[in-house]
Structure 1
Amino acid sequence: MHIGIIYALLAAVLFGASTPFAKTLVGQMPPATLAGVLYLGSGIGLLICYAVRALVKRNDQDQPVALTRHDVPWFAGAIAAGGVVGPLLLMAGLTSVSASAASLLLNMEGVLTSMLAWFVFKENFDRRIFIGMLLIVAAGVLLSWDQAPATGLPWGALAIIGACLCWGIDNNLTRKVSASDPLQIAGTKGLVAGTVNLMIGLALGAAMPATPTLLLAGVVGFCGYGLSLVLFVLALRHLGTARTGAYFSAAPFAGAALSLLMLGEVPGPLFWVAAALMGGGIWLHLTESHAHEHEHLPMSHAHAHSHDEHHQHEHDFDWDGVEPHAHAHHHAPLKHGHPHYPDIHHRHQH
């Protein structure tokens, strides 16, 4: 299996599993406070990982490429959309939507991520991926209908879909910086988003919960928001935004299964119909294959890499031969054909 798919699926499992845990914490602190603690747990945990990695790395070539000032606008937009507004909407939605239904509704993140990637950022897609997304959209509509109150609009479901839109924007903006250090990206996002959300919660008069609850929320945030985002950034680097969003659609199934086991929820028939539709959509994504002759234009950038058919270059520094290694390098023009994804080297027109 392609390494990018593994990264995306692991990210999906970690994030999906965090939803039922977050549901159990919703009643113990307001949405803004909970979002802040989750992201701070993510940021602090990854900051520790970052420090440990710096101690064990041997030289500069072993260190991933850091963010640059050119990345700041994209990264700031990603933090605002996905780190501040998105979590607030999710926690608000969880106050009135069951954890299992919320878990499946989160599949809309993959759909909205892909729609933005295709129609705004002009990433390639084919009929198979599009049909899969239609199935997931149909499932999301069913879940929203199932959560509708007797009168009025299903505000909880709509809030969760709004959170998915924010994360779709976040994912597309994060793809712009995905060649950089994923630990730095995810850790910085966690610290900034966590601080902002926590300040909002405290400004609204929320009190901090007991220490055991804080620690539990921090661990959930580290796994479901921190490690998951690190893996997601790595998947973006290898698969592109739309495909990563498609594979990440497995997240809600992990969350829904855990919700049924942990919380004893009994879903209605529409839940199972929606689950079947989403399963069919994800299967279409997982079985996609894309291969054709394509041309690589000259390009210079920096990221961690090994010397494969796309990386044939000389070094102007002493290299110890260890791979992967990171440095600025140039790609000469190249024309060939092979199965590929729209990764950082295959963002060409069709």
Structure 2
Amino acid sequence: MTKATPASGGDGFVPSFRAGLAAALLTVAMWTTWIIGSRFAMAGAQPLSPALLALVRFGTAALLLAPWWWRIRLVPRRAPKLALLGLLFAGLPYQFLVLYGLHFAPAAEAGPLLTGTLPMFIALLSALVFRERIGGIRAAGVVLITAGVLAITGSGLLDLAGGGWRGHLLILCAALSWSVYTVFFRRSGLTGTEAAAFVGFWSVVLLLPLAAGEIRAAYQATPTPVLLRQVLVQGVMAGVVALITFTTAVRHLGAARTSAITALTPAAVVAVAVLLLGEVPGWPELLGCALIIAGVVAASGALAPRRQPG
């Protein structure tokens, strides 16, 4: 008996596990670098302007991916309008929520919350919006992720004066925004590059009228070497590479399997935060990270029995 080959879609696309795995692992590396780099930018007495960082991120994406958004038009005709609206949640909402969240919360806590809660929000959104059923294993994963979130945020909730709870709340809202993007990307019919081009272009269009003055002042006050580092981290890695690799992984593996692989991100962020930022997470944060990783694997559906081809 030969092994079943995944059927191609109407556009001739044939999923590849190796391509999806490589894209998911590269996403882990990009996300880890971006979270650490953003924490560097937002920590300290004089954090960089979130509006300037947003322009760097999406402006770089819009420039590098100009051929793609020009080809698909500013409003792609083949994509449902509701799906296009959902894609924009990966733009300014996600960017500002993460940056302000990292101003209040350390990377060792923000990383697990940001990337670890994605399967939970994706599962809940898929059930609410598209009536997808959450099986027993995935439901157990959601419970584990919730327990991990409570373990990480518990100390902050008990210390309201510390301000850490603000960062936790903002990071959770950012994870929800990215989950909205993930769910609607699957319905958009766009490729990863096309989605990245669409998000980058419209984020710049929406940002400039609202924050042109702040961006100009922040640009004049930011040293050139610092700005160039953020162009690499925010613009190239996060604004282009990460969005393309993530959506490519989702297209080849599906949102569930992709989330299971990107469960490596919380552990990677904690390790890098300890080595580079000197952050030392306590046992509640480490326990929460472990619970979230276990919950991600379960909630992603990776442990569910596979159906035999008919």
TM band (smaller chain): 0.7 to 0.9
User: Which residue of the partner structure matches residue 24 of structure 1?
Assistant: 40
Contact 1:32 1:91 (8 Å CA) reproduced: no
Q: Which residue of 2 is the match for residue 131 of structure 1?
A: 140
Pick the structure with more strand per residue: 1
Q: What corresponds to 2:184 in structure 1? A: 173
Aligned partners of 1:118 and 1:242 also within 8 Å: no
The whole-number CA distance in structure 1 between the counterparts of 2:212 and 2:155 is 34
Matched, 1:73 2:87: no
Partner residue, 2:249: 235
State the structure with more CA Rg.
1
**Partner-residue secondary structure (3-state), 2:160:** coil
Could you tell me which amino acid in structure 2 is paired with residue 189 of structure 1? V
Give the drift of 1:233. 1.3
The equivalent of 2:56 in structure 1 is 37
Q: 3-state SS of the aligned residue for 1:231?
A: helix
Query: For residue 29 of structure 2, what is the aligned residue in structure 1?
Result: 13
1:35 touches 1:198 (CA, 8 Å); kept in 2? no
- 2:273 maps to 1:259: yes
Relative to 1, partners in 2 of residues 1:279 and 1:151: Cα closer, same or farther, differing over 3 Å?
closer
Q: Deviations over 1:162-187 (max 9, x none)?
A: 1111111111111112x433212212
The aligned counterpart of 1:219 is 232
Alpha-carbon spacing, 1:90–1:34, altered in 2? closer, same or farther (3 Å): same
Equivalent position amino acid for 2:172 in 1: I
Cα distance change of structure 1 residues 69 and 112 upon mapping to structure 2, 3 Å threshold: same
Structure with the largest fraction of helix? 2
CA apart distance, 1:101:
0.7
Deviates more, 1:208-217 or 1:265-274: 208-217
| Structure-2 separation of matches of 1:16 and 1:142 | 21
* CA distance, structure 1, for counterparts of residue 301 and residue 274 of structure 2: 25
Q: 1:288 maps to what in 2? A: 303
Q: Does structure 2 conserve the Cα–Cα contact (< 8 Å) formed by 1:42 and 1:191? A: yes
Is contact 1:143-1:271 (8 Å) kept? yes
Q: TM-score, normalised by structure 1?
A: 0.70
Q: 1:87 maps to which residue?
A: 95
Counterpart residue number, 1:313: none
Q: TM-score, normalised by structure 2?
A: 0.79
Task: Give the Å deviation of 1:263.
Answer: 0.5
Determine the C-alpha separation between the residues in 2 that align with 1:186 and 1:30. Answer: 23
* Cα deviation code 1:111-150 (max 9, x no counterpart): 2122112332233543223322321221112212233363
Q: 1:45 to 1:253 in 2, by over 3 A?
A: farther
Task: Provide the rounded CA distance (Å) in 1 between the counterparts of 2:132 and 2:22.
Answer: 21
Counterpart position of 1:187: 197
Q: Structure 2 stretches of 5 or more lacking a match? A: 1-15
Q: Specify whether residues 21 and 195 from structure 1 end up closer, same or farther in structure 2 by C-alpha distance, changes over 3 A only.
A: farther
Conserved? CA contact 1:42–1:223, under 8 Å = no
Note if contact 2:79-2:190 (Cα within 8 Å) is conserved in structure 1. Answer: no
Change (3 A) 1:25 1:140: same
Identify unmatched segments of 5+ residues in structure 1: 52-62, 294-335, 338-350
The residue type equivalent to 2:286 in the other structure is: W
Whole-Å separation in 1 of the counterparts to 2:259 and 2:204: 24
User: Any conservation in 1 of the 2:62–2:200 contact (CA below 8 Å)?
Assistant: yes
Query: How far does residue 157 in structure 1 lie from its aligned partner after superposition?
Result: 0.9
Tell me: CA distance 1:291–1:150, structure 2 relative to 1, closer, same or farther (3 Å): closer
Q: Is the 8 A contact 2:191 2:248 kept in 1?
A: no
How many residue pairs get aligned? The number is: 282
Residue 273 (1) aligns with residue 287 (2): yes
Identity %: 25
**Root-mean-square deviation over aligned CA pairs:** 3.0
Cross-structure match for 1:160: 171
Conserved in 1, the CA contact under 8 Å of 2:138 and 2:301? no
Q: Could you tell me whether the CA contact under 8 Å between 1:93 and 1:157 is conserved in 2?
A: yes
Residue 70 of structure 1 aligns to a residue whose secondary structure is coil
Residue 2 of structure 1 and its aligned partner are, at CA, apart by 2.7
- State how far apart, in whole Å, the 1-side matches of 2:83 and 2:129 are: 17
| Pair 1:244–1:271, CA change in 2 (3 A) | same
